[in-house]
Structure formats: C-alpha cells, structure tokens
Structure 1
Amino acid sequence: WNSAAEALSERSARRAVGRFLKEVFPPDASVVRRLTETVATGESRSEPEGVVERGDHRLVPVSIVTAPLFGRDGTVEAAVAVLRDLSRIRQLESEVRRGETLAAAGRMAVGLAHEVRNPLGAIRGAVQLLRRELGADSRLAEYTDVLLTEVDRVNRIIELLLDLARPVQLRPVPLNLHQLVERVALLSEEAARERGITIVRRYDPSLPPILGDEDRLLQVFHNLVRNALDSMPAGRHLTLTTRVSLNPLFGKMDVGAGPRNMVEAQVADEGAGMPEAVRARIFDPFFTTKDKGLGLGLAICHRILEEHRGAIQVESVEGRGTVVTCFLPIVK
C-alpha cells in the first residue's frame, strides 16, 4: 500500500495495512473482485475500466491488473494489484469531445451570423424610420422600442455564438490573481448584499504572478461569481479562494514549453448543487438549467481558460453546493 495508493483511495497505509480487503473497499468493488478471483484461480486478472471509491465517496476511474504470489510449494499465498488512475485520460477524452462540439457550434455560428445579421440590420433600420414617422408621442412608439430592444438582443446572442467560433485573441501579461478576483468581488458585493449572501475571501498572500489576459480572465470570474450568486438563497456564503495548486491532475501542466506549476482560483457556493448528469454537460454549448439563458457562458469560460493553457474543474454535491476551480500557469 504505497503513497500512490494512499493518494488514489484517500486511505492511509495505517488504515489499510493488516485489514481485510472488504474492510477497506466495498465488497463489490472491482479491485476486490479481481483479487479474489486471482487468489482463487492462481491466474492474473485485468480490468481496463474499473472504479475505486475514494474516502469522499467519489468514484475514480482506474485500470486494474492483478497477479498471484506463489509460495515455495507452488500454492497461491497472496495476490498483488496494480491500479492506474485514468482520471487524466478521461479528462483529455472529454476535452477532445468538447472541442469537437465547440468547433461544430462555431461553424454553425459563422453561417448563422451571415444569414441573420443582414436582415436584422434591415429590420432595425426600418423600425427606426417607422419610429421617426410615428413620432415620440404616438401610442405605437412603445412597440417600436420593443422591436429595437429585441433586435439588439438577437445581435448580442449572435456575438456570443461568434465568440465560440473566433480564435481567442489573448494579450498575456504578468498579472496579480488576487487583484483580478478582488475586482470581481468588489463589483459583486452589492448584488450579494441584496440577496443576503456573504462573500468570503481566502487569498494566499504568497501567490506568484500568473500569465494571462486581464479582460478575458475578468470575463471568466464575473461569469462564475454571477452563476454562484444565482444558485444560492439568502443567508449562504460565496467563498473565493486562491492558492498554489497541489491538484494531482492540474497542479502541473504542459503549456507548450515544458511543465509549469499552476495556481488555483476557486469559486465555491452553498447552493443546491447538481446531479452528475448535469455536471457532465455544463460546458456543452446551449446546455442550461436556467429559465433564462443561452447556455453559452460556461462554454466560453472553458474556451478562454483552454487558450490560457489552463483548465477548469467543477465538483458538485447535491444539497451542499458547487466548487468551480480555475487553473492558470504561473509566470516562469
């Protein structure tokens, strides 16, 4: 039971060594079944798609290989299991699928913008002329105002769609992550106060500078904080955290010039949380659980962080809340 097994299962060697296997893992766990079969048959077993339940009850995808250990008399005395954490591989597969979805949405957006914007421009011009002819005092003027508002709303939707299609143009410079997150916190204080929500700050004072585009990252944090506020009733807390990342998947990432350490900016709410089926789709374009919304905000956030050679991770427990963590590379 080495240190990697401790990290994977969130069970220390002291809690595992000397205990029956079924006291450490659930009796129907993949690793229990495979080790039991190996001891019974004296043959190796493998399972390319198993799972291990961690101490927090989260399931981690693993591959499992077991082998028997024979005594001098040729009988099976024990068995050994080698588990490989597949979380990063599954994450990369998910990123590829999401990238394909975003590319398809982008192609659709370009075609849609071309086909819709021209007639929208004509409609807007015609409505403005009509409003001028009717005069400001006409009882029909309010209807022309509604038309202009809705035309502008459709144009904003098209702009959001085009954000998925355009290459993200970054202007990366060294940035203080605390200052970025704090700007968003200050701008959100009034909205939080009106809803009876308290913003809690937990900033690591020793955080090194990051490399990023200020405007784009502000866009990401504004979106995440707004979503968190929308998810909570009065009396709850929204916690903003920054720290050097020790995450086993994203704490160190290859940004094109070799591995680089990452920092985390975390937005944690105490809302209703979400089921796994919803969590798995939240970055899909046009997927939303809100009555109002296009389902593009998180897809764009994901795209921005991806262009920064970073990552975004969402953990959620129904009834307890959601934690969104952004990973960004430090200045080398």
Structure 2
Amino acid sequence: MTTATWDAGERALLQAAFESFDEAAHTLQQSYSTLTARVEQMDLELAQSNEALRRQLHVNEAMRRHLDGILESLSTGVLVLDGAGVVTRANGAAAAFLGAGHAGDLQGRPAEDVLRAAGLTSSDRPQRIGSRVVTITGAPLTAEAGGASGSLVLLHDVTRVCLLEEQLRRRERLAAMGEMIGRIAHEIRNPLGSVELFASMVRRDSADRPSVQRYAEQISQSVHAMDRLLANLLLYTRPDRAPRAWHHAEQLILDSLTLAAHAIAKAPVDIRLDLDPRIPLIWCHEGQMKQVCLNLIVNAVQAMPAGGRLTVSLTNEAESALGVPAVRLTVADTGDGIDPSHRSRIFDPFFTTKDEGTGLGLAIVHAIVEAHQGHIDVDSAPGRGTTFTLVLPHPAPLRALPPAAVQTCVCVEESAQ
C-alpha cells in the first residue's frame, strides 16, 4: 500500500518536473527566437550602416579627387602648412614656381627653407623667378571648430600684369615725349630750310672760291643729316598717318637687306631667309615696313661685330592675341644679346648703348608696329643672341583670292596712294 502510494507521489513529482522543464524549454525557445530576430535585425542595421559608410567614403573620395583636380588646375601656387610652418601639401604650380620636380618633393620641408632655396622671401612685394614675376601672400587655415589648423602660402604669377603696367608707363612716357619731340622738330626744321637755302646760294656765288664752296657743302651735308634725324623723329611721333596696302613680302625684305648692305659688309654675316610661300603679301605701309626691317637688320648686324648668323622668317600666327588673322615676322641674330637691365628701355627714344647711336631705331620700330595695330616682343640673353618678333594683322579676304586677283588688288591699292 505504502509502495504504491509512493510510486504515485513520485510520478506526480516527476510529472510536475517535466511540466516545469517544458515551460522552461518553451521560455528558452521564445527567448532564442527573440534573440535570433534581434541578431538578424542588428545584422540588417549593420549592413545598412556599412552601405551608408561605403557610400559616404565613395562621396568623400570623389570629393577628394575633385578638390585635388581643382588644386592642380590652379595657376596659383599653393603650399599648405601645419602649425609649425612645415609644408604638408603643395600643388603642381607651386612645384613649378619653386623649381621642384614634383609637388611631393616639397612636403615635409619648412616653408621658409623652400622659399629661400628658390631665391624668394615671404615679402608680399613682386619678386622675380627666372622670367616670371610672382607675389607671395599668406592666409590662415581655419578648422571646423573655428581654430587655426595651419596656414596657406599662395604664389601668384603677375608677370603679365607687370608687363602691361610697364607698357602703360612706357606709352604714357613716350606719348608726352613724342608730343614734345614733334613740336621741337617742326621748330628746328623751319630754320634748317633757311640754312640750306643760304648754303646753296653761297655755293652758287663762290664758283671761283673752292674753299668757300667746300665749307658750304659741309654746311649743306650737316643740314641734310639733321633733316634726316628730324624726319625720323616725325616718323616716330606720327607713324599712324600713312596709308597701308598689300605688298610683296619677299621683295620688301630683300629691299630692306639691300638698304642694310653698308652695315652687313662690315662683318661676315650669314643671312638666312625662311619665308612661308603661303604668305606672298603683307598688309602694311611699304616705306614704314622697310624702315622697320632695316632698323632691325642693322641692329642685329651691329650686335655681331665678329660675324654670326642673321635669320629673317615670316610665318602664319596660329593663335594671334590680336583677335584677327596675323603673320609673324622675326629677325634673329647670334650676337651679344641684351643686358637684362636694359630690356625695359630698349624701345625708349634716345636710349642707346652705342657710342654713335641716336637711340631712335628701335623706338621707331615700336611706334610703326603699334601704328599697324601689331605688337613686338623681344627674347634675348647675354651671349645667346636676340630675336625680335613682330605680329602684324593680316586681313583674311584677300588671302583667299587667286594670284591674278591679288595682283590686281595690289596694283589698285598702290595706285590709290
């Protein structure tokens, strides 16, 4: 009886234990399911976060490449400095300004050392690097929090600006000088005519006195020399009043060489002509353009007292700054070159380094070229010779005409003068 009753009690307890275990297992299963769902949700959220992070990294990388492209496209040199003044980044323009092979060569070096190695200082005044003129400015680099995180050093190429300022100053100076020269030339020319008249009368009335005739002839020669000088002065002051027409380019240059024969004969000069056959004509005033070529040729020959090579070339100007079709006429020599300290004054009237020069040759060239709406450049260095380059407008319509029509136009234009 007792055993049977005990077995019933044990069974009840065992049944209760199984029920408790089932409940615990059920609870555990629910917790596991909940945890699994939570893990899956977290995996999804993590994947979404990773995708957003990848997109942000892609955007940041695209932005970085874009900013790098902008930085490298700048013509202004940029140096990025840390708080200690050390270069942490530079663009290609800065490397070119400072003579570095690559922008990376500047990184890790103090900015002062980098500038000093290029012969520059931190001054904001214009400074020269080779043929360039640059200005240097600094600016603080501000972090997002508003504090300073370094600084920028900017190198600006102001070569063109300085050149334009120099040309403006020269024009203002020459305009005032030209007005004065024109007035003086007229005032001098009038009494010179009287002197020449009286000299001719003395020659006529002293046929039996050779010494007097000789003195009168010397007076007359001196008057003619002064008259030529005054004619050059007036040509300098009023070159824009002469009419222009089509003229044969090769013949014009050959005539100029013939006029310069007296100078060419003094030194063994090798003359080379490189004339584009596609440019048979140039639009100019014949006499003035011969004067330009003559002055440049004589100037080149005088720069080669021991001999050398003189090259005259005529080509099309592919991308003219004049805004119209143009031709390029160059006169180059292998002579002494021009002292850099004289470069800014070579077109000034009465400036000369020659003992017997008047200083009007290049001034007249400059005035005539400008009167033709062209421009002139000079490239020279001591010991490497000099090249004068003239860019002259070349109206397009006549270039398209057949040779016969062009010849007709030349004759009509010349007869209209």
TM-score range, shorter chain: 0.7 to 0.9
TM-score (norm 2): 0.61
**1:17 and 2:103 correspond:** yes
Unmatched runs of 5 consecutive residues or more in structure 1: 35-45
Contact 1:202 1:241 in 2 (8 A): yes
Q: Any idea what the Cα deviations from partners look like across 1:217-263, whole Å, max 9, x if unmatched?
A: 221111100111111123411122333447xxxx5334xxxx23543
More strand by share: 1
Higher relative contact order (CA 8 A, sep 6+): 1
Alignment of 1:123-142 (within 5 A): 123-135=195-207, 138-142=210-214
Q: Any idea what the Cα deviations from partners look like across 1:32-61, whole Å, max 9, x if unmatched?
A: x55xxxxxxxxxxx93x43352xxx33x12
More helix by share: 2
C-alpha displacement of 1:302: 0.6
Aligned CA distance change for structure 1 residues 263 and 4 (closer, same or farther; 3 Å): farther
Distance 1:90 1:261 in 2: 27
**1:27 and 2:117 correspond:** yes
Aligned CA distance change for structure 1 residues 97 and 78 (closer, same or farther; 3 Å): closer
Corresponding position of 1:271? 335
Distance 1:7 1:214 in 2: 45
Aligned CA distance change for structure 1 residues 252 and 114 (closer, same or farther; 3 Å): closer
Distance 1:238 1:8 in 2: 38
Corresponding position of 1:86? 158
C-alpha displacement of 1:328: 1.6
Contact 2:95 2:101 in 1 (8 A): no
Distance 1:9 1:123 in 2: 67
C-alpha displacement of 1:147: 0.9
C-alpha displacement of 1:69: 5.9
Corresponding position of 1:99? 171
SS in structure 2 at match of 1:220: helix
Aligned CA distance change for structure 1 residues 118 and 228 (closer, same or farther; 3 Å): same
Corresponding position of 2:66? none
SS in structure 2 at match of 1:92: helix
Larger Rg, first or second structure (1 or 2)? 2
**1:234 and 2:302 correspond:** no
Aligned CA distance change for structure 1 residues 190 and 266 (closer, same or farther; 3 Å): same
Alignment of 1:1-332 (within 5 A): 1-2=72-73, 4=75, 15-20=101-106, 27-30=117-120, 47=124, 49-51=125-127, 53=129, 57-58=130-131, 60-67=132-139, 76=149, 79=152, 81=154, 83=156, 85-135=157-207, 138-166=210-238, 168-174=240-246, 177=249, 180-185=252-257, 188=260, 191-192=263-264, 194-204=266-276, 210-245=282-317, 252-254=320-322, 259-260=323-324, 262-332=326-396
Contact 1:101 1:285 in 2 (8 A): no
SS in structure 1 at match of 2:314: strand
Distance 1:196 1:208 in 2: 29
Aligned CA distance change for structure 1 residues 87 and 121 (closer, same or farther; 3 Å): same
C-alpha displacement of 1:148: 0.9
Distance 1:10 1:200 in 2: 36
C-alpha displacement of 1:208: 9.0
Distance 1:323 1:329 in 2: 20
**Which deviates the most, 116-125 or 170-179?**
170-179
Count of aligned residue pairs for this structure pair: 305
SS in structure 2 at match of 1:168: helix
SS in structure 2 at match of 1:199: strand
SS in structure 1 at match of 2:210: coil
Q: Any idea what the Cα deviations from partners look like across 1:127-179, whole Å, max 9, x if unmatched?
A: 22222222155233211111111112122222222223335224334556555
Contact 1:274 1:318 in 2 (8 A): yes
Distance 1:69 1:178 in 2: 61
Kindly provide the amino acid, as one letter, of the partner of residue 285 in structure 2.
Answer: D
Aligned CA distance change for structure 1 residues 314 and 11 (closer, same or farther; 3 Å): same
Kindly provide the amino acid, as one letter, of the partner of residue 320 in structure 2.
Answer: K
**Which deviates the most, 142-151 or 64-73?**
64-73
Contact 1:109 1:161 in 2 (8 A): yes
Distance 1:174 1:78 in 2: 59
**Which deviates the most, 259-268 or 8-17?**
8-17
Aligned CA distance change for structure 1 residues 88 and 128 (closer, same or farther; 3 Å): same
Kindly provide the amino acid, as one letter, of the partner of residue 93 in structure 1.
Answer: E
Aligned CA distance change for structure 1 residues 75 and 88 (closer, same or farther; 3 Å): closer
Over aligned residues, Cα RMSD in angstroms?
A: 3.7
Contact 1:253 1:261 in 2 (8 A): no
Contact 1:209 1:331 in 2 (8 A): no
Distance 2:185 2:155 in 1: 53
Unmatched runs of 5 consecutive residues or more in structure 2: 1-71, 77-91, 397-417
Contact 1:16 1:24 in 2 (8 A): no
Aligned CA distance change for structure 1 residues 155 and 70 (closer, same or farther; 3 Å): same
Kindly provide the amino acid, as one letter, of the partner of residue 253 in structure 1.
Answer: A
Contact 1:102 1:164 in 2 (8 A): no
TM-score (norm 1): 0.75
